[in-house]
Structure 1
């Protein structure tokens, strides 16, 4: 590790240099204030133009800098207009900086370039980096939750998990629904290596303007821009927080008495059997608590930035150490970033950006652990005197704590991400840009299973079937890289009232990955001996080797035109070639128009500071599929008789469509941007209609054709997402002491399957061998398709008179179902569509208040109009399994009949609306209190800025769902919304500091 750090420091030191030479000149003194309020501005950069000589203003806004009598001083401050002031032989200057008109002058990144927000014709949302650092989260994606209209973020409580992000609904099933991420020009699908504190802004391309990225952009684009150095003296910043995480809403399972009462009905033979030893052990085991822990977390970030007029630098280092709320689960990450700019001449600029990250993780098998937590009998102890309670001897599930202790999974991930670029301006209005972007990963994984017996040496009571007769070790090494070479030429010129920007260029991409793994038994328990060659060579071993290779070639073009700053036109065209299709090439485009009404004479004296109408339409592609999905391949080493001799041969076992083509997305967007009352009130509103055509889907094949999966993947589906988005922001000051802000966004989305084109409905999810979701025409993707539960049988006569139940016999206390087709029996043909996990409405609002040196902020997030399937309640594998406490209290009994909850839930209980609950919720996502040190204390401490804060993540959730959390993390689109074995959602409390020198 030390060697790697040493090499990293040496490499990074080569990327930047600082000119520290100062000319001996007379001192020019002065003070910088806010032109509107007269308040002193702290930390303003004061640079002698044409040199690297510069200082920052102190806590009183004062400065003193050596400068020639004929010099010009450049004053730069975030949020204010840069000002150049000639010295003209003066020794004292009074400088007043004016705040920028942010809504009008804000620059957004639109792909291969930037544009002023007022000139954008597409739907582009921006989030400032300062808003991201308020939350103690690992990834910037998590911090986006609730901040952007039309963007839904679903995160997991598990450390190092990659949040799910949906932009304007789910647009694909087999080709992925995640957006493209672009980090300083590097295209990627994973931004877990990006440090939140390094981010300047996040821009989200939601409409067809994302077509500039072609086949990578069908699900939207998230563009991340990281910090760069600014001319001036070195600025050192340190940010840190330390705290703990806990399970936000621990699931309550039945206690001893509730469980025994239930077994008397569900499994009376178990209670009556001779083996009653667990019943003699006092107390109740709360298995959810037994596997949980309060988890320590800490985050430290330090950065240095500065430079002169010819070169600037930014370098940062970040360290995260976070334990999971499940025992043995932990994660550490170390990241170094260096961003540098060198002006070789007035016409040539070199820049480089590099991020090195290294993380280690001990993950856990969440599905296996929680699958047993929900089912394990509470009458069995978790562990006593180093011996585990034998749950398998009683209820045929494993002891979850033993599962954790006897597994040691370890991963080590190294990643290099960055680029080098040249920008050449032969004339002021023409720029040639060439950038080489690289994203490379080198990962190692070791999973070790300890040997243990099922006797008294391990368990308090022996005789169960939970055992590991032989230790085993799984090892995998995999590496992958993807590079991208961009070459673009940009023409940008103003002719009178006409402004024209034209971009054209070529993009080359290539990606390669490979892995090799193996498994051996009887490897020693000493971690220093965890190598495959330490295993037993005389037993069967398993080894695999594989990989992937893909290439893309693209030609891009874009035109932006404005007349008089109020009539806007734009268009882009991209021609993509991809190795992932037999039909290699596709063409994608977007057109847009805008009208800035606030620039018209009839509105210039109105309450509108900004009012713009805009519209766009375009087509995007999607090639996010397996590289060989259209290639017919053979399976080697299959047994075959050649005459009377059995030999190994190669067999074609699957049937593939060799003419697969792009999934294409057509999207219409109509929007309005507005600003009232000198931009104290700003916002946007959009209507969109997004249709995915030629979507990949599975079509069942007759078994006679020989395909082992009986599935044929082809372009035979269409989906639509349509909706409305609204965002509002109010920012104002009551006086010089009190300021406040309020933000709100709300999205409505309707997801619908509009054409399977001869394909058959797709069934997925599962409980007790039966599917739960169905994707079919006229319904949202992965809609619940279940029986309609209508109540509980109260009498034997009522049960006898009901339609015949083909799943389980009708009985008193049993669920009754609607006979939808009136054929006198309850079977699969009586299923109905009963909603989906996709919300109809989602959004968030935030509040902020500043009073002198104190600040408070709160962020809320929620959704409604969606449903959750309580799969953990329906997935009972044995009649001896435990139940939830809420169900134990409400279920039907002869002494306390219920009309809604059955007396028992067994393996034969079919999926029905009984298990479907509301997914609506409102969560206080983040609450932060802060205090900034006053100027006199800063001066005495020698600091430019200092702030301490107390923050909480996920403080409370208002919900109707009976489970842990209505926010379910699932990467399986067709099974989303089924709550079976999710990692617990966590609550965080942390104390932090922000310091600048």
Structure 2
């Protein structure tokens, strides 16, 4: 420290008196400075007369001249609508004030206490228009979409950009603790820079970094979570209840006619029970085995993170590591992740930066679950093991295997993810404002799945080894020129880039083992041996030009054009061009607004542009497969041949989504209330769709372009500082979004000559309706014993409304539009309460269907046959019977199925108490002696309660085909979690 320097100490707070952590404190005109700790305190050597500049994103800068006082306390004031806030956009950053597109930032700080091992789980309800479902497996990635559906068969995945590079790994591989910010690009104006891959929206993830001239900052966090199902009643019957369920299945014998409500004294359950639950003498087996209990356990998550960051005059760094060990509700549903990150940047010269953003994630999901569906089907009167403790392969004496036969296996399941972006950033000294950035991004993934089971291949044993590897690189060259002259500000960006991807897979399998003592490590012991391999490559090339122009700090223009080429498209349409134009008007900067004190900021923006959607590889070309083709004589080996399996289409085009977005950003009442409103309409043309063609061609269909979809919606994001005082604060954030899609046209064919384009009824696609419209039978209760019935419908079956009154039910005449599967609107409310060192957050999330939306099929019907009297069922299903005439679900014991067994559509609307977290920051005075900047202790709960009329596993749960999961065997529960955690910053 120089003689004239002295140590300046102080604390940085915001208007309400709360500390501002991470604020920058710099000596003006130099590169020397520091940042505030978790309690807002700082220490810095500076000379008398030096000017200290205090800055923080979202706050107006403050400058203080060092005088005789060695202690300086500073209060930062929120800038008008956070005009200084910088958000990440495609290929750069922008001040929030200057945005012309629909860009939203996720509030990660408020959800830090939630037990989310997957970054996707952080996103539920946080941004209007960002639609995130639930995950029901350990480490699982929930379904994610932005602003609804804009395609039929095209790619529906949201584009993920990590640190400027397209991320093709699983979101489960990203450590949420490493994330600094998440920004969502929703409209054509903001997503156009990614062209052909951005039709479904873009999520930009930015990892944490160190800062220059920052002393080493060590952060440690740990948390433990316990998890149990949110729907505890969905369990199979235990012994007594199962026998009662079986009795009701035979109500025609267990009760006396004609009304079947009086018990039959001569009825014996053993007379109707399946052989699998009776002994040799015909008596019921004595067991009461709880298959469900043995196949499940209390879930848990143990998470630990450690990072160190900082920097000197020329180098900044962040090094981090994380461990996650999650055990799901179903035994062997395990997820373990080890993650490391190294983000390093060096400035060898004042005008050049060279950096590395890198991470490795090592995911272990060893072990296989028991079949959860089979666990729910097994009756409690049978057991999984014989008297010697050996697994019984088929305890029900049917082809249904023992559910634990998939559990007692040797399963090695590993995925390793590697990511690195090596970049160079040059501010050319000979031309002020000119910047060149080179990104060389790499994604590499390896998969090892080794498996052996003595119970496979008809109990003869099966084992295999599977290796997969995937690699892609992105090479971007970005030239940016920024110039301010007079009242004009211009930023021009040019991009030239390329992406190449490749994949390899090798699979070796053997069956029929005399013994499996070497598991999958000696496949040559198998009697039958097989090998497969697969590989592919694809590449993209693209160019982009963008101009951001601002006049008088109030009139904004963004113009973008991008050209994409993809190797997977047909020869005549390899390239597509995607333009966009957006305008903005900062009305609050106009002179006529200066005297309106209630309005702090007001901006109007509008944009129109075109995005594309890629086809999958090989869609546009004829494909060939190899199969057994001919046998030359008795005893001769099978000859294999090649067969063309699809038609090529040299004229297959890119899907194009043309979208308009009109939005308003505002802050009023001294910045206490702020937010944004957006209205949008997207029209998708040249839809990629597989169209049926005459079989005389030798093929059933061909992929082509057809039709148009319209997608419209409205979004609102509001934040209100309800109370803001020195000791107490209350902030509420409300997100609302509504979306509707509509099929405008399909094939353009009018085959029946009625003057209207034909619907694709067999595909469930109708002109003027939404993509997920429900065209089905209308129901009117259940047929009672004495009801007059339409022929073909027994007692206890569902009564279908005969729409044309012909006393018959047919598909052609009796189906109507019942509603749609998409929701009407989504709404969430996030509230934060602060009192001194305490902070309480409460997060409510809701999806509503309105009059006829967000419907899911929920039909747990019962038909008496060999299988249904042999297997178990879920408790609490309200089946009809003569003694329960108001039962909700059909029970048919007639011996003949109903002519039609229709779907039963239920409203899935819900309100969920999604997250609650209570934390405490220990007082600064207690930490001074320990040199610890902050200690935060918290407890939290997730998925605490759901208000819904939906009867099933969870209103948001979906199966592999995207259908709602109701009262069905095989569903998986959403888990309720309770967490205790600790954060320490040194």
Confirm or deny a common fold (TM above 0.5): yes
- Given that residues 331 and 369 in structure 2 are in contact (C-alpha distance below 8 angstroms), is that contact kept between their aligned partners in structure 1? no
- Provide the rounded CA distance (Å) in 1 between the counterparts of 2:304 and 2:603: 42
**Deviation larger for 674-683 or 187-196:** 187-196
Per the alignment, residue 258 of structure 2 pairs with none
Deviation at 1:81, TM superposition (A): 4.7
The alignment partner of 2:715 has SS state of strand
Per the alignment, residue 98 of structure 1 pairs with 76
2:220 aligned with 1:238:
yes
Deviation at 1:879, TM superposition (A): 3.0
**Deviation larger for 852-861 or 825-834:** 825-834
2:691 aligned with 1:699:
yes
- Provide the rounded CA distance (Å) in 2 between the counterparts of 1:49 and 1:620: 44
2:604 to 598, 613, 631: 613
- Provide the rounded CA distance (Å) in 2 between the counterparts of 1:62 and 1:123: 36
Deviation at 1:745, TM superposition (A): 0.9
Per the alignment, residue 456 of structure 1 pairs with none
- Given that residues 359 and 413 in structure 1 are in contact (C-alpha distance below 8 angstroms), is that contact kept between their aligned partners in structure 2? yes
- Given that residues 242 and 872 in structure 2 are in contact (C-alpha distance below 8 angstroms), is that contact kept between their aligned partners in structure 1? no
Per the alignment, residue 302 of structure 2 pairs with 298
The alignment partner of 1:896 has SS state of coil
Decide whether aligned partners of structure 1 residues 792 and 196 sit closer, same or farther in structure 2, where only a CA change above 3 A counts: same
- Provide the rounded CA distance (Å) in 1 between the counterparts of 2:977 and 2:138: 13
- Provide the rounded CA distance (Å) in 1 between the counterparts of 2:646 and 2:34: 69
**Deviation larger for 697-706 or 909-918:** 909-918
Q: Deviations over 1:815-852 (max 9, x none)?
A: 22123344442233333333333211112111110111
2:209 aligned with 1:218:
no
Decide whether aligned partners of structure 1 residues 920 and 56 sit closer, same or farther in structure 2, where only a CA change above 3 A counts: closer
Decide whether aligned partners of structure 1 residues 561 and 788 sit closer, same or farther in structure 2, where only a CA change above 3 A counts: same
Per the alignment, residue 659 of structure 2 pairs with 667
The alignment partner of 2:83 has SS state of helix
5+ residue gaps, structure 1, are: 1-21, 453-466, 765-772
Per the alignment, residue 549 of structure 1 pairs with 537
- Provide the rounded CA distance (Å) in 1 between the counterparts of 2:602 and 2:517: 65
The alignment partner of 1:143 has SS state of helix
2:556 to 556, 568, 585: 568
- Given that residues 511 and 550 in structure 1 are in contact (C-alpha distance below 8 angstroms), is that contact kept between their aligned partners in structure 2? yes
Per the alignment, residue 117 of structure 2 pairs with 138
- Provide the rounded CA distance (Å) in 1 between the counterparts of 2:864 and 2:440: 54
2:804 aligned with 1:814:
no
2:359 aligned with 1:350:
no
Per the alignment, residue 322 of structure 2 pairs with 318
Decide whether aligned partners of structure 1 residues 53 and 104 sit closer, same or farther in structure 2, where only a CA change above 3 A counts: closer
2:200 aligned with 1:200:
no
- Number of residue equivalences: 935
Per the alignment, residue 162 of structure 1 pairs with 141
Q: How does 1:900-939 map to 2 (within 5 A)?
A: 900-904=888-892, 908=897, 915-939=904-928
- Given that residues 52 and 307 in structure 1 are in contact (C-alpha distance below 8 angstroms), is that contact kept between their aligned partners in structure 2? no
- Given that residues 376 and 395 in structure 1 are in contact (C-alpha distance below 8 angstroms), is that contact kept between their aligned partners in structure 2? no
1:109 to 51, 73, 88: 88
Decide whether aligned partners of structure 1 residues 70 and 266 sit closer, same or farther in structure 2, where only a CA change above 3 A counts: farther
**Deviation larger for 282-291 or 555-564:** 282-291
Per the alignment, residue 380 of structure 1 pairs with 382
The alignment partner of 2:784 has SS state of coil
- Provide the rounded CA distance (Å) in 2 between the counterparts of 1:144 and 1:393: 44
- Provide the rounded CA distance (Å) in 2 between the counterparts of 1:91 and 1:817: 85
Deviation at 1:266, TM superposition (A): 8.9
- Provide the rounded CA distance (Å) in 2 between the counterparts of 1:266 and 1:510: 67
The alignment partner of 1:630 has SS state of coil
The alignment partner of 2:136 has SS state of coil
Deviation at 1:307, TM superposition (A): 0.6
Q: Deviations over 1:609-637 (max 9, x none)?
A: 111111111110011x3311112122235
Deviation at 1:882, TM superposition (A): 3.4
2:847 aligned with 1:858:
no
Q: How does 1:760-909 map to 2 (within 5 A)?
A: 774-796=764-786, 798-799=788-789, 802=790, 804-805=791-792, 810-829=793-812, 830-865=814-849, 866-870=854-858, 878-880=867-869, 881-887=871-877, 890-898=878-886, 900-904=888-892, 908=897
Q: How does 1:229-268 map to 2 (within 5 A)?
A: 229-231=210-212, 232-250=214-232, 251-254=234-237, 255-265=241-251
The alignment partner of 1:362 has SS state of coil
- Provide the rounded CA distance (Å) in 2 between the counterparts of 1:546 and 1:813: 52
Per the alignment, residue 6 of structure 1 pairs with none
- Provide the rounded CA distance (Å) in 2 between the counterparts of 1:669 and 1:959: 33
Decide whether aligned partners of structure 1 residues 480 and 530 sit closer, same or farther in structure 2, where only a CA change above 3 A counts: same
Per the alignment, residue 753 of structure 2 pairs with none
The alignment partner of 2:500 has SS state of strand
- Given that residues 544 and 560 in structure 2 are in contact (C-alpha distance below 8 angstroms), is that contact kept between their aligned partners in structure 1? yes
Deviation at 1:137, TM superposition (A): 0.5
- Provide the rounded CA distance (Å) in 1 between the counterparts of 2:724 and 2:50: 40
- Given that residues 622 and 646 in structure 2 are in contact (C-alpha distance below 8 angstroms), is that contact kept between their aligned partners in structure 1? yes
- Provide the rounded CA distance (Å) in 1 between the counterparts of 2:578 and 2:648: 26
Deviation at 1:595, TM superposition (A): 1.3
The alignment partner of 2:788 has SS state of helix
- Provide the rounded CA distance (Å) in 2 between the counterparts of 1:907 and 1:436: 66
- Given that residues 235 and 996 in structure 1 are in contact (C-alpha distance below 8 angstroms), is that contact kept between their aligned partners in structure 2? yes
Q: Deviations over 1:776-834 (max 9, x none)?
A: 333322334433222222245612xx2x33xxxx2222222123344442233333333
Deviation at 1:303, TM superposition (A): 1.0
Decide whether aligned partners of structure 1 residues 266 and 832 sit closer, same or farther in structure 2, where only a CA change above 3 A counts: farther
- Provide the rounded CA distance (Å) in 2 between the counterparts of 1:701 and 1:258: 53
Deviation at 1:284, TM superposition (A): 5.3
- Provide the rounded CA distance (Å) in 2 between the counterparts of 1:902 and 1:695: 40
2:932 aligned with 1:943:
yes
Decide whether aligned partners of structure 1 residues 150 and 266 sit closer, same or farther in structure 2, where only a CA change above 3 A counts: farther
The alignment partner of 1:444 has SS state of strand
Deviation at 1:27, TM superposition (A): 3.1
Deviation at 1:915, TM superposition (A): 2.3
- Provide the rounded CA distance (Å) in 2 between the counterparts of 1:25 and 1:910: 96
- Provide the rounded CA distance (Å) in 1 between the counterparts of 2:902 and 2:123: 33
Q: Deviations over 1:888-931 (max 9, x none)?
A: xx433233323754333899457766622111011111111111
5+ residue gaps, structure 2, are: 255-268, 750-757
- Provide the rounded CA distance (Å) in 2 between the counterparts of 1:831 and 1:569: 51
2:473 to 454, 478, 483: 483
Per the alignment, residue 689 of structure 1 pairs with 681
The alignment partner of 2:451 has SS state of strand
Decide whether aligned partners of structure 1 residues 57 and 479 sit closer, same or farther in structure 2, where only a CA change above 3 A counts: closer
Q: How does 1:701-740 map to 2 (within 5 A)?
A: 701-707=693-699, 710-731=700-721, 733-740=723-730
Decide whether aligned partners of structure 1 residues 445 and 58 sit closer, same or farther in structure 2, where only a CA change above 3 A counts: closer
**Deviation larger for 751-760 or 492-501:** 751-760
Deviation at 1:37, TM superposition (A): 6.1
- Given that residues 51 and 308 in structure 1 are in contact (C-alpha distance below 8 angstroms), is that contact kept between their aligned partners in structure 2? no
- Provide the rounded CA distance (Å) in 1 between the counterparts of 2:594 and 2:253: 79
Deviation at 1:380, TM superposition (A): 3.2
- Given that residues 149 and 746 in structure 1 are in contact (C-alpha distance below 8 angstroms), is that contact kept between their aligned partners in structure 2? yes
- Given that residues 263 and 271 in structure 1 are in contact (C-alpha distance below 8 angstroms), is that contact kept between their aligned partners in structure 2? no
- Provide the rounded CA distance (Å) in 1 between the counterparts of 2:691 and 2:424: 49
Per the alignment, residue 371 of structure 1 pairs with 373
- Length-normalised TM-score, structure 1: 0.87
**Deviation larger for 434-443 or 773-782:** 773-782
Q: How does 1:625-636 map to 2 (within 5 A)?
A: 625-636=615-626
- Provide the rounded CA distance (Å) in 2 between the counterparts of 1:732 and 1:836: 38
Deviation at 1:123, TM superposition (A): 0.7
Decide whether aligned partners of structure 1 residues 215 and 56 sit closer, same or farther in structure 2, where only a CA change above 3 A counts: closer
Per the alignment, residue 578 of structure 1 pairs with 566
**Deviation larger for 197-206 or 128-137:** 128-137
Per the alignment, residue 263 of structure 2 pairs with none
Q: Deviations over 1:914-956 (max 9, x none)?
A: 6221110111111111111011211233210111000111111
- Given that residues 509 and 523 in structure 2 are in contact (C-alpha distance below 8 angstroms), is that contact kept between their aligned partners in structure 1? no
Decide whether aligned partners of structure 1 residues 87 and 898 sit closer, same or farther in structure 2, where only a CA change above 3 A counts: closer
